[in-house]
Structure 1
């Protein structure tokens, strides 16, 4: 049994634990650089992928990696299913160019995509199956299915400008498109969970939601957003959005997710005030300004300050206010581990 993961599940559900956890979102923007390898090798060599992810557990023993053992290709998987043009690189995840920025083209041609056959999705599903067997003898598994969110996925195949303008100027045209994307995301998450021996939850990542007004969110996005979370009721539901968007926090409280990875630019106490008492917070050390460019001492102090802010809250999982950024030094993650270890010892 993976004791780290069992403890994370309790914390993510808001249950009382005897220690504060450190949870880090790690993926291919950071891992290949940390390991000193070509990004393409990380994607193509499953033995290398497995060894690196196993090594993270030993290198940072106080941290829970979220989702952990994650097969992902940057932003490319969901975009590829809708025909996004992928450009692969040796030193970073794939970049994506829109297939068409013509809204009317998508109004005519959009359809729900099948994760068993579309884009990179079937390759990832097969990788999940193969690695699930590889992990079983170690008492480990893949537990969290992941997808980019509704606006992020749509922006990659039609362009950010086309998407954002249509939310305001042509809601009747963009709404059926968002419905098809939502249907695809739900099917994609379901397909991943079915490949996992011990599935526990889902994580959705969508920073673009934070760039629209409260009115536009409630009118154009919230119904689709809630449909995803409601579909996975009973599972742990994690939402990553590190765009500063305090104006949306009060409406997020009823969205249906359980854990919120949010912007470091909003204090933990203010986020708690705005988002309510029930959602578990995942943050809140600055991922770039401190995680990448800070010293270990600065990272340690920032982590300690976060723990002090939330010591009476009971629903904080210490993390960066976002994923682990590219070029984050291992020594700065060590500083986070040191802070959580010493905090738990003293409290």
Structure 2
């Protein structure tokens, strides 16, 4: 993103009233390779293809802030791979991981991690170092570092179903795994910030598995670990949280974690979210990403976008889809969102 885009995003994140509502979108490997017409294998393994794909989209949509921008990810491989999970690569899909912790009692036997060198964390850091000057030469910056959250990472390592059962049947060991994942994530975010070396002043945490538990389990197994991560970084940094699973049980608690921006899914209407948390978080959303964003017509996208904007009251919002940009979302529908936003902004 450009310095100007980041300045606007920061102001929105901190609750300032802006003359125009900005638009931001999360783009990563589920959507980006298909949009620019390359295979996932080519996108991940060819540094020039990776750079050109991001640059093409940034040039094509200069008025959209892409979050985190130039994301040097390998799908969801980095975090579980550093703890020893096997990662499978595919020609035309994002990488997938295989759980390795078949008995949660063995959590203490997992080998020590080293974020600078382990598996896809090491490769990601090297990609940052290789590409950052090329990115800066375009006039853009890299202000955001990114990680999956503790619940999500624990689910990768243990298996989602098994880990959900552990919360009830073996909570002591579930806490041990979450503690390990939290330490890993803090070190991982700090390593990325060090690799970038300048401009970093935000973290972006993605954890959909938080939406799989009720409020009491959220308060025990999610909230303390999310807060530890936010507290590990300067108070004036922007903290962005993505969860496009269910947020019903955790919504009122998220501002107390330390987050500034919430990107949430289609399940909870923006009017409901605003009624429950007011101005305590900047809302980044929430046009339905699949049924509307991918499968809808441009006119349906326009109507859905205006509905979100009207319900937002025009304040404390960054327009986006409800989650990441879904695979297959066409250019015409992105343009329809932009046009609807311009129409709404012109009335203010």
TM range (shorter): over 0.9
Cα deviation for residue 230 of structure 1 reads 1.2
> Mapping of 1:302-321 within 5 angstroms?
302-312=304-314, 314-321=315-322
Q: Could you tell me which residue of structure 2 aligns to residue 98 of structure 1? A: 99
Q: Which whole-Å deviations, capped at 9, do the CAs of 1:143-191 have from their partners, x for residues lacking one? A: 1101001011111111112211111111112212211110000000011
Q: Which whole-Å deviations, capped at 9, do the CAs of 1:249-273 have from their partners, x for residues lacking one? A: 1122311111000122211121112
Q: Could you tell me which residue of structure 2 aligns to residue 198 of structure 1? A: 199
What is the CA–CA distance in structure 2 between the aligned matches of 1:165 and 1:241, rounded to whole Å? 21
What is the CA–CA distance in structure 1 between the aligned matches of 2:113 and 2:48, rounded to whole Å? 30
Q: Could you tell me which residue of structure 1 aligns to residue 114 of structure 2? A: 114
**When the two structures are aligned, how many residues end up with a matched partner?**
345
Q: Structure 1: which 5+ residue stretches go unaligned?
A: none
What is the CA–CA distance in structure 2 between the aligned matches of 1:10 and 1:43, rounded to whole Å? 33
Instruction: Answer yes or no: is the 8 Å Cα contact 2:266–2:286 preserved in 1.
Output: yes
Q: Please tell me whether residue 69 in structure 1 is matched to residue 34 in structure 2.
A: no
Describe the shift of the 1:117–1:193 C-alpha distance in structure 2 as closer, same or farther (beyond 3 A): same
Q: Could you tell me which residue of structure 2 aligns to residue 189 of structure 1? A: 189
What is the CA–CA distance in structure 2 between the aligned matches of 1:4 and 1:277, rounded to whole Å? 22
Q: Which whole-Å deviations, capped at 9, do the CAs of 1:91-123 have from their partners, x for residues lacking one? A: 1110111113211222x3135522111121011
The alignment partner of 1:125 has SS state of helix
Kindly report structure 1 stretches of 4+ aligned residues shifted beyond 3 Å.
none
Q: Which whole-Å deviations, capped at 9, do the CAs of 1:65-103 have from their partners, x for residues lacking one? A: 000110111111111111111111111110111113211
Cα deviation for residue 345 of structure 1 reads 2.5
**Pick from 259, 262, 283: which aligns with 2:261?**
259
Q: Which moved more, 1:110-119 or 1:301-310?
A: 110-119
Q: Could you tell me which residue of structure 2 aligns to residue 142 of structure 1? A: 142
The alignment partner of 1:247 has SS state of coil
What is the CA–CA distance in structure 2 between the aligned matches of 1:141 and 1:103, rounded to whole Å? 41
Instruction: Answer yes or no: is the 8 Å Cα contact 2:15–2:279 preserved in 1.
Output: no
What is the CA–CA distance in structure 2 between the aligned matches of 1:276 and 1:251, rounded to whole Å? 13
The alignment partner of 2:256 has SS state of coil
What is the CA–CA distance in structure 2 between the aligned matches of 1:270 and 1:111, rounded to whole Å? 44
Q: Could you tell me which residue of structure 1 aligns to residue 18 of structure 2? A: 17
Cα deviation for residue 212 of structure 1 reads 0.5
The alignment partner of 1:204 has SS state of strand
Q: Could you tell me which residue of structure 1 aligns to residue 57 of structure 2? A: 56
What is the CA–CA distance in structure 2 between the aligned matches of 1:320 and 1:177, rounded to whole Å? 32
**TM-score with structure 1 length normalisation?**
0.96
Cα deviation for residue 242 of structure 1 reads 0.8
Instruction: Answer yes or no: is the 8 Å Cα contact 2:74–2:124 preserved in 1.
Output: no
What is the CA–CA distance in structure 1 between the aligned matches of 2:50 and 2:342, rounded to whole Å? 28
Cα deviation for residue 220 of structure 1 reads 2.0
Q: Could you tell me which residue of structure 1 aligns to residue 162 of structure 2? A: 162
Q: Could you tell me which residue of structure 2 aligns to residue 126 of structure 1? A: 126
Q: Which whole-Å deviations, capped at 9, do the CAs of 1:231-264 have from their partners, x for residues lacking one? A: 1232110000011221221122311111000122
The alignment partner of 1:65 has SS state of strand
Q: Structure 2: which 5+ residue stretches go unaligned?
A: none
What is the CA–CA distance in structure 2 between the aligned matches of 1:165 and 1:62, rounded to whole Å? 45
What is the CA–CA distance in structure 2 between the aligned matches of 1:136 and 1:4, rounded to whole Å? 14
What is the CA–CA distance in structure 1 between the aligned matches of 2:54 and 2:267, rounded to whole Å? 30
What is the CA–CA distance in structure 2 between the aligned matches of 1:249 and 1:274, rounded to whole Å? 8
Describe the shift of the 1:286–1:112 C-alpha distance in structure 2 as closer, same or farther (beyond 3 A): farther
What is the CA–CA distance in structure 2 between the aligned matches of 1:111 and 1:18, rounded to whole Å? 52
Q: Could you tell me which residue of structure 2 aligns to residue 277 of structure 1? A: 279
